[in-house]
Each structure stands twice: as structure tokens, then as C-alpha cells.
Amino acid sequence: MRGPHNIWRLIRTGATFERTGAMRVVLEALQAPAPLRAAAHVIGWPFRWLGYKGDPSMPPVTRALTALGPAYIKFGQILSTRPDVVGPDLATQLQVLQDKLPPFSTDAAKASFERETGATTDQTFSTFSDAVAAASIAQVHRATLRDTGHEVAVKVLRPGIERAFRRDVDAFYFAARMIEFLLPFSRRLRPTDVIRHFEGVVMGELDLRLESSAAAEFAQSTEKDAGFRVPSVRWDLSGRRVMTLDWAEGIAISDLAALDAVGHDRRALGERVLQVFLSHALRDGYFHADMHQGNLKVAPNGDLIALDFGIMGRIDEYTRRVYAEILYGFISRDYQRVAEVHFEAGYVPADRDIDQFARALRAVGEPIFGMDATRISMARVLAYLFEVTEQFGMQTRTELILLQRTMVVVEGVARSLDPQINIWNVAEPVVEGYIKDNIGPRALARDFARTIRVLARFGPRLPQLAEDALIRQNNPTPEPKPKRGNSPALWAGLGAGCATIAVLVIQSF
């Protein structure tokens, strides 16, 4: 489906933004220059009739995104967590995209449950509510199990959602390829790879069996985390388009008035959101990658409850160590070390000047320290970082896209709870603890033990491998191998094997 016909889809996107008034609101929120706003209006106005009308009762941007479809709604969900980027008014308007979209019928949800599980809703549940939350991909119903009386949450995919997402993703692919063709300098950002990564994430979110598996794994990896909870999966009542979890009672983290009314400490909650995310990403390499306000609740006892596990992130141990060193370098203001890590990891081409790169990083980091948190503009910081990456030829790291995006979202959630929060101060103990455990003597000892375990699996083969190596060295032409167990070369081979182990262990350091 990826072809020129997607031009029509992109034209309708721009026309929808113009028709609903969203174009003006977005450009004003982003503080676009007046000439650019005027030009956008002049170009877009003749085509506005081609755009979708949307729901006139909604604010302009929300109206445009909901009319355009689920992929655009996902984008709006991210922006809703960034009042420092789009402004508090627009961020508040976009929060309805998280879990307050128009639901589909309860009868359709029941029918989907019965098709997926083979059980009837009347026999399984004593109560089955209308939708209590409706998002871009699925909606949730509260139900009571007839046999035990336990309350559960039943998540059901929207009808036809797979086709709708495919249509949007196809248009994004076309736009990415057009950008790469028309703007060659953009290729270093690998827009097509970014869309491919987004596609993989979204397709995984459209199979609730995978989400059930992710929820179970996440619950297992975080079961010892104080103040953090993941609901248990009901596997017998779940399938590809339906997932059933234990019901999690709590207050939506976006309901600040309710949190204040019952006495929850919003500053502590904001710090916990940031710290649990960093802990999961660095310690486990497995983290919730969609932590907007609609997916977080606060339990009566103050525990943070995570919901919606359709988008999870995973990073390998080496990348975690690199990421931690970069974060810690910024926190400790050691920009030279941050630059060195970028070069060591291959993030910056080796032919660039490391000292110049360190100076550029200092220009990014220094304005943040000592500044009132409310005066820090992440939009300006990100804009300058983009200039630095362009100057030094850095390419987009697709394996870090989810981590970087989630970091932006999580910071936005924390800032909504406490506008004075300082991400660096909150992150320091988590990152410092990870550094001590994974980039020091303790980590070297652990790496040594892992190396020995790997080599031990080859233990039974070492004598023969060493003997074969010696034979090849002393006899260039193939000869029959001497019998194992009675050759002096065997003992020499064992010595060579031990020497090989020693070399590999030294290299592991």
C-alpha cells in the first residue's frame, strides 16, 4: 500500500489541521514566527474543504487528531505530557486523548470477548460495565467474576483498528521517503528507520496476547520495587483482541485535585515516576514505554500502579552502560567524559574533533544547572541538541528511540505533578547507584564470572581443540590424529587451553 496514493492522505492531514483551526493553535503554541504562520494559512486555506470536519465540540487540535486516526492520536498523547513545549493550555486539551475518547458499544466489546475466549459474558461475569476508559487502540470495561467475586479490567481492541493503523503508517512511510528524497541532509536522521521502528511497536500493541506476556514479565521484574505495582494477568480470559487483568483501584495521576484531597504527596510521586522509570531502564533493560498520565494510577496507600503494557522497551546491557555514563556525565558536568563515551560507542564519527564536541555538550548542559526548573525550556534544549547532532554528523539511534521518547514523556508527567522538579537532581541517586554496580570493580568481577561460565561450557572440548591446534601448527599437511589420552601433546594442549582462557579473561576487562 506504500505508494503515491498516500499523497492524498498527507494533503487531507494538512487540510484537516487548517479546517479545524488546529494549524493556527499549534503554530502559536510552538511560537512559530508570524511570517510562517501567515504562509501556512495562505497555503492551507484553499484546501481546507478537503479536511475532515471532526467533532466541533472538541478543542481544535484534539478535534483534528481524533478525526485523522489512531496514529495521530498517539502523537497527541505524547504532546499532552509536555506543557513546557506546547504550553499548559494545549497540553490540558490533549489529555483527553489519553483515555477519554468516544467509546464503541458495550455489545461489540462483549461479542469480541466471546469470540476470543469461547466463554459467554453472562456465564463469566456477574457485572460488565460500559467503557470506563477509551483510548486510541482499545477501551476498558470493569467486570466482576461470577465464580469468585473478584473485580477485573477487560481490555478490548477497537473494531477495525488494525486497518486504520496500517493506513496511517503507510502514509508516514511515504512522507519519510519523500523527506529523504527532497532533503538529503535529513538522511542522517534515518526517518524511514524511525517509522519502521514505530510500525514494529504499534503492530505489537495490536496483539493483546503480546501485551499480556509483557505485563507478566514486567510484574516479575518489578515485584520487589517498593511503591510500584503491576496488575496480574488472567490468562484464561485473554486472547489476541482481549486482555483481562485484576482491577487496580486508584486515582488517575492526572487528577491533581483528587490527589490533593486525599493527601498524596505530589512532589514525592513526581520523583518516584522518574526514579522507577530510570531504575527499570538501567537495572532491568526492560521498561514501560508509554508512561503518560492515562496509564498511571495512585493506589489508596500511595503506590504507583502502571497500566497498559502494549509498548514496552528493551535495551541490552552494553547500551545501558553507555546511556548511564552519558547521564552521569551530564549530572556531574564532566562533558569531556560524555564526549568520550559518544566516540567510544560509535555514536559520533571517529573523524570528528572530540574536544569541540565536548564544548558543544557543555553549551547544552551548563544553562540547566542552577536555573529555576520552571525557567528551563526543554524545547530550546532539544532544538540546540539537534543542531549539535547535525554539526557532528550523528545518526539517529533507532534502538534508543523508545528510551528517549519515554524519557521525555516521563519528565512531562513528573513536571505535571511538581512544576519545580529538577530531573537531574532526582535522577542522580539512581544513575549513580547503577554506575557503582555496573561500571566498577563489582561489574568487572561479574563480567569475569560470566566469561568463566561461557568458557566452562567448552571445557570438555578444550583438550581436543588444543591438540588439534598443535597438530596443525607442527604438521602443515593433514595427518591422522593421534589417539586422545596417550599423547604428550595432550598436556601441552591443556596448557595452551589454560593460556587461551587467561587471554580471554584479560580481554574481558
Q: Give catalytic residues, as residue numbers.
A: 290
Question: Beta-carbon neighbour count of residue 200 at 10 Å?
Answer: 11
3-class DSSP state of 287:
strand
Residues in the chain: 509
Residues 6+ apart with CB under 8 A from 278: 427, 430, 431
Q: How far is CA 403 from CA 199, 251, 277, 288, in A?
A: 16, 26, 10, 9
The runs of H, that is alpha helices, within 208-299 are 208-221, 256-261, 266-279
**Nine-digit cell at 155?**
481490555
Cβ(304)–Cβ(229) under 8 Å?
A: yes
3-class DSSP state of 98:
helix
Residues 6+ apart with CB under 8 A from 58: 66, 96
**Cβ contacts of 442-447, under 8 Å, gap ≥ 24:** 444/509, 447/508, 447/509
Residues 6+ apart with CB under 8 A from 241: 112, 115, 116, 156, 157, 208
Cross-strand bridge partners of residue 157: 138
Cβ(46)–Cβ(57) under 8 Å?
A: no
Q: What are phi and psi of 147, to 5 degrees?
A: -80, -30
3-class DSSP state of 422:
coil
Residue 454: exposed, middle, or buried by beta-carbon count in 10 A (0-12, 13-18, 19+)? exposed
235-267 exposure pattern, b = at least 16 Cβ within 10 A, e = fewer: eebbbebbbbbebbebbbbbeeeebeeeebebe
61/44 Cα distance (integer angstroms): 16
DSSP label at residue 346:
T
